[in-house]
Structure 1
Amino acid sequence: MTEKKQAIRAAVAAHLISTGLTGHGIRALASAAGTSDRMLIYYFGSKDELLRESLMLVVEGLALQLDQEIGAERLDYADLLETLTVLCQQPDWRPMITLWFEIVGLAARGGEPFKTIAGQIADVFVDWIAAHLPDSERHSATDLFAHLEGRMLLTVIGR
């Protein structure tokens, strides 16, 4: 991947974290990246691919941040859930959590590329969770992800 493409992807990712997904046409995304809409199409082929790559960059960053916070240690289900709950409730995580629920809402309506992107993001986090559970509890990774997601939803709506 070229440096220019990486820079565009990073700028769009930062823009989406701070502003969300709705109301952003290709020109608005180009403006946020400091380039033209034609250059976005040149580098990514479509707005959908730009969104997918930018959102996956956010996910990669979150997984790295979780690795730094938790390390390679394996925690049992309850301890991992509590640790992740505390981390995800930190104020600096709020924009990413809000963005996730926006993606999920758009995916729930069956809209592409969000249905596909939501599935890819969920797969990354379920795999990450499984890698941080003891072997005997890895089968519970999807359940833990759903449990954490429910907790975050309640936090986002102020409950």
Structure 2
Amino acid sequence: MSKIDTRRADIVQRLTDYVLAEGLSAASLRPLAKAAGTSDRMLLYYFKDKSEIITAVLGEISARLVALMTDRTAPQPLPLDELRRQLAGFLFDDALWPYMRIWLDVASRAAMGDAYYRNVGEQIGRGFLEWGKMQLASDSDAQRDIDAARLFVSIEGMLFLKSIGLDDVNAKAL
């Protein structure tokens, strides 16, 4: 890795921490540069524009979340209902809520018609769908595709319900 690549990777780590703590709404160029310990001009030396910065940060947030999910799920594939219970048991915990809040923000911006966030959200969502397929014990590849879609839809619904204060509904569904 070159010195520039190393510095860029360090900046992405710092910015990821900042965005997880402050949210996407706080991700304008000057606050991002301050969080990275550099100037906005230097930040644009490492990234061509703000979109490239946000893409790198959202990619790192996704990678961290996948690592946390992988660490907390069974080492062997599980049936759909069991995997859903495991995921719901920790994804909505306060420690992981910053990740979920960012995902809701991406979805909200996409729903408002922002093509950038729709594209990024689709990429991230498809990545989580593929992760789910690898975690599921299903009778066939076709059934695994269906189970992964059901897992994703149910977890997303539970995320939405938690965000509006309906944790009790989630608890009943499990």
Give me the TM-score of the superposition, normalised by structure 2.
0.86
Q: How does 1:75-90 map to 2 (within 5 A)?
A: 75-90=78-93
Match of 1:138 among 131, 137, 144: 144
Is the Cα–Cα contact under 8 Å of residues 26 and 37 in structure 1 kept in the other structure? yes
Is the Cα–Cα contact under 8 Å of residues 52 and 113 in structure 1 kept in the other structure? no
The CA deviation at 1:156 is 1.7
Q: Which has the higher contact order (CA 8 A, sep 6+)?
A: 1
Aligned to 1:21: 24
Q: Which runs of 4+ in 1 moved over 3 A?
A: none
Whichever residue aligns with residue 87 of structure 1, its letter is: F
Give me the TM-score of the superposition, normalised by structure 1.
0.94
Supply the distance in 2 between the matched residues of 1:148 and 1:24 (Cα, whole angstroms).
Answer: 27
Is the Cα–Cα contact under 8 Å of residues 12 and 29 in structure 1 kept in the other structure? yes
Deviations, residues 35-70 of structure 1 (Å, cap 9, x unaligned): 111222221211001101111101101111111111
Alignment identity in percent? 28
For the pair shown, the structure with the greater C-alpha radius of gyration is 2
What runs of 5+ residues in structure 2 fail to find an aligned partner? 167-174
Aligned to 2:170: none
Supply the distance in 1 between the matched residues of 2:138 and 2:158 (Cα, whole angstroms).
Answer: 24
Aligned to 1:3: 6
Secondary structure at 2:95 match in 1: helix
Aligned to 2:156: 149
Deviations, residues 122-143 of structure 1 (Å, cap 9, x unaligned): 0111010000012434112122
What runs of 5+ residues in structure 1 fail to find an aligned partner? none
> What is the number of equivalent residue pairs in this alignment?
159
Is the Cα–Cα contact under 8 Å of residues 76 and 134 in structure 1 kept in the other structure? yes
Supply the distance in 2 between the matched residues of 1:128 and 1:120 (Cα, whole angstroms).
Answer: 12
